[in-house]
Structure 1
Amino acid sequence: MTVTGSADISDITSSASQLRRFLAGLPGVDQVGAEARAATLSTRSIKTTAKAYALDLAVRMIDLTTLEGQDTPGKVRALSAKAIRPDPADASCPSVAAVCVYPDMVPVAKAAVAGSTVKIASVASGFPSGRTSLDIKLRDTADAVAAGADEIDMVIDRGAFLAGQYGQVFDEIVAIKGACGAAHLKVILETGELATYDNVRRASWLAMLAGADFIKTSTGKIAPAATLPVTLVMLEAVRDFRDAYGRQVGVKPAGGIRTSKDAIRYLVLVNETAGDDWLDPDWFRLGASSLLNDLLMQRTKMRTGTYSGPDYFTLD
């Protein structure tokens, strides 16, 4: 899909009716075509030096995440140490992109990664349901940013979106983006609850029109989470948005990406859909903490010729 001759963003978003008209006018997604394209690209084989590069790139793109009620400062510090030095036995292993935690754990994580390249991301805005008042969402965001969060992962109100209340969802994203200050905003669509690829496309455009720096598939709390066809639709959206408006937006599939083969499939999808401009942690992330150990095992195999068992690396 290519959006051409689009009106200015200010015109599209000047009213709820204008926004609805624009989103309703987006071309529908060819479900069979999207799924076939994703399946075909997933068969690409990456070998030798290209594979080594892809493994390191995938490590650099990971948002290492802990979002559980049982999170403790000790667990967050351990996760942060792993984010900085994923493989203590191999100094050539790059750091991951970010550590993602609840807002109350931001100060702990920020202190733990001080002096490194690892960023701190924090979920805010009523994660994972998004069903809290805007005042609470804004206070949650402001508190996380004040504590040192470099990135905010917000979740849209899927009930409002599915009810066609696009203006409400848009206004909330705009308000939370304003509360982020210098922090980047990732907008979680929770694609597993959006039901159709057409809704994924509309939600992607809605988030980008509202100022999202990244669009993200999932919270990781709902199944299905990230899938290749859904990510394909989102990659097409960011590509077309940049073509239409000149602003690049990142993409983050999250949840269910567990193996190095999975990660490489996503990298191929990025390259073949959006282009190599997105093959960078600034523009593509993997929300998949359990993936990291498999990437480390594959790196060790390529370096030494033998596999290290899964117990060789610390658990996430």
Structure 2
Amino acid sequence: MPTSASAPASAFVDATASDSALRRFLHGLPGVDAVGLEARAAALGTRSIKTTAKAYAIDLAISMIDLTTLEGADTPGKVRALCAKGAHPDPTDRTTPTVAAICVYPDMAATAKEALAGTGIKVASVATAFPAGRAALPIKLADVRDAVEAGADEIDMVIDRGAFLAGHYLKVYEEIVAVKAECGDRARLKVIFETGELSTYDNIRRASWLGMLAGADFIKTSTGKVSVNATPPNTLLMLEAVRDYRAQTGIQIGVKPAGGIRSTKDAIKFLVLVNETVGADWLDNHWFRFGASSLLNDLLMQRQKLSTGRYSGPDYVTVD
């Protein structure tokens, strides 16, 4: 069984010894063939999924959802209602899987923890001045500390995209290492790149390796707060990165596409990417997640259709 993340993997200690060494390593990664990447993602997206496999895929996708509310108007009541939905997505069918996690702001982590007691569902909390990441490191670490002490099982941090795009890779690396240390053994760390702001596939590949070298347990595409979020090509690229990293280190890293995944059809496309790129080891919510809020409703409607032969429509699921 592959091991979890450690920072950095011993095989790459020299790569993180200095700013120049890290730059040399990241810029020495193979360039991304954009045409080939997009063509492969598009081809995998055309795979046909039959009824039995579709039913399995829908349940798997439900079990992989980080059901999310990250709004300024979030209230304890809204968070408790979301937790109830995550625990019993379809109250008329108790065979429906629970979601993987409820994702909230740090000040709502304690509310979610209490509401989810006994369910096995994780509490995920965004931190490090989400979504912009524009804060001093001590403030970011205090944000993480508050969330973990409130009961967060997982921390979703954002990298400093400005520092990354300016080529200050060691600064970004050291921030991730510090956040990972703050999480300790109490919380797994998801590192968000905001791929829509990284501009190029080469940058997404570099960010993926940077996050893994720094000890990320998951690498995550997006905050869901910008115009371009998770796409099949950028997720495929990140899946290739975790595959190659495990091949070289034996360490398995999770992947979380987030933002813009709203339909069952889209979710299944991403599951096909996972199966065909990294294989069955990642087809589990310990290693793959969907960052989503509206996706669950469509999965539930499609699940009901497979079960009853009728399409129930949006009035039969709760509005988040």
Q: TM-score, normalised by structure 1?
A: 0.97
DSSP-derived class of the 2:47 partner: coil
* Structure 2 residue aligned with 1:160: 163
2: distance between equivalents of 1:233 and 1:90?
37
Which whole-Å CA distance do the structure 1 matches of 2:297 and 2:60 have between them?
A: 14
> Tell me, which stretches of 5 or more residues in structure 2 are unaligned?
1-8
Alignment map for 1:44-83 (pairs within 5 Å):
44-83=47-86
Q: Distance in 2 between matches of 1:34 and 1:309?
A: 36
Q: Distance in 2 between matches of 1:176 and 1:129?
A: 16
Q: In the alignment, is residue 295 of structure 1 matched against residue 299 of structure 2?
A: yes
Q: Quote the offset at 1:69 in angstroms.
A: 0.3
- Structure-2 separation of matches of 1:29 and 1:239: 15
Does 1:103 find its partner at 2:106?
A: yes
Structure 1 runs, 4 residues or longer, greater than 4 Å off: none
Distance 1:202 1:238 in 2: 12
SS in 2 for 1:287: strand
Deviation at 1:7, TM superposition (A): 8.0
Q: Paired residue for 1:253, among 245, 257, 274? A: 257
For each residue in 1:137-184, what CA deviation from the matched residue of structure 2 results, as whole angstroms up to 9, or x when unmatched? Answer: 001101100110000000000000000000000000000000002200
Distance in 1 between residues matched to 2:183 and 2:92, nearest whole Å? 37
Q: Matches of 1:192 and 1:305 in 2, distance apart?
A: 39
Q: Give the Cα separation in 2 of the matches to 1:234 and 1:225.
A: 13
Q: Distance in 2 between matches of 1:162 and 1:116?
A: 41
CA–CA distance in 2 between the matches of 1:277 and 1:103? 31
Kindly provide the CA deviation profile for residues 97-138 of structure 1, in whole angstroms up to 9, marking residues without a partner as x.
000000000010000000011100000001000110000000
1:276 deviates by 1.3
2:147 corresponding residue in structure 1: 144
Secondary structure (helix, strand or coil) at the match of 1:306 reads coil
- C-alpha displacement at 1:66, in angstroms? 0.3
- Provide the residue aligned with 2:231 in structure 1: 227
Letter matched to residue 273 of structure 2: L
Rounded to whole Å, the distance in 2 between the matches of 1:7 and 1:290 is 41
- Quick one: structure 1 residues 121 and 7, their matched pair in 2 at CA, closer, same or farther if it must change by over 3 Å? closer
How far 1:17 sits from its partner (Å)? 1.1
Q: Distance in 2 between matches of 1:273 and 1:153?
A: 24
Counterpart selection for 1:84 from 87, 92, 96 = 87
Query: What TM-score comes out, normalization by structure 2 length?
Result: 0.96
State the AA in 1 paired with 2:156: D
3-state SS of paired residue (1:33): helix
Q: For 2:116, which of 113, 116, 121 is the aligned residue?
A: 113
RMSD, aligned α-carbons: 0.9
Q: Tell me the residue number matched to 1:218.
A: 222
Q: Aligned partner of 1:191: which letter?
A: T
Name the amino acid aligned to 1:255.
G
What amino acid sits opposite 1:276 in the alignment? A
Structure 1: which 5+ residue stretches go unaligned? 1-5
- Whole-angstrom CA distance in 2 between matches of 1:8 and 1:38: 30
The partner residue of 1:311 within 312, 315, 318 is: 315
Change (3 A) 1:307 1:246: same
Question: How far did 1:192 drift?
Answer: 0.2
Partners of 2:227 and 2:36 lie apart in 1 by 23
Matched letter for residue 306 of structure 1: R
Alignment partner, residue 172 of structure 2: 169
Q: Structure 1, residues 229-273: CA drift from partner, whole Å, max 9, x if none?
A: 000100000000000111000000000001000000000000111
Question: How many angstroms does 1:8 deviate by?
Answer: 2.0
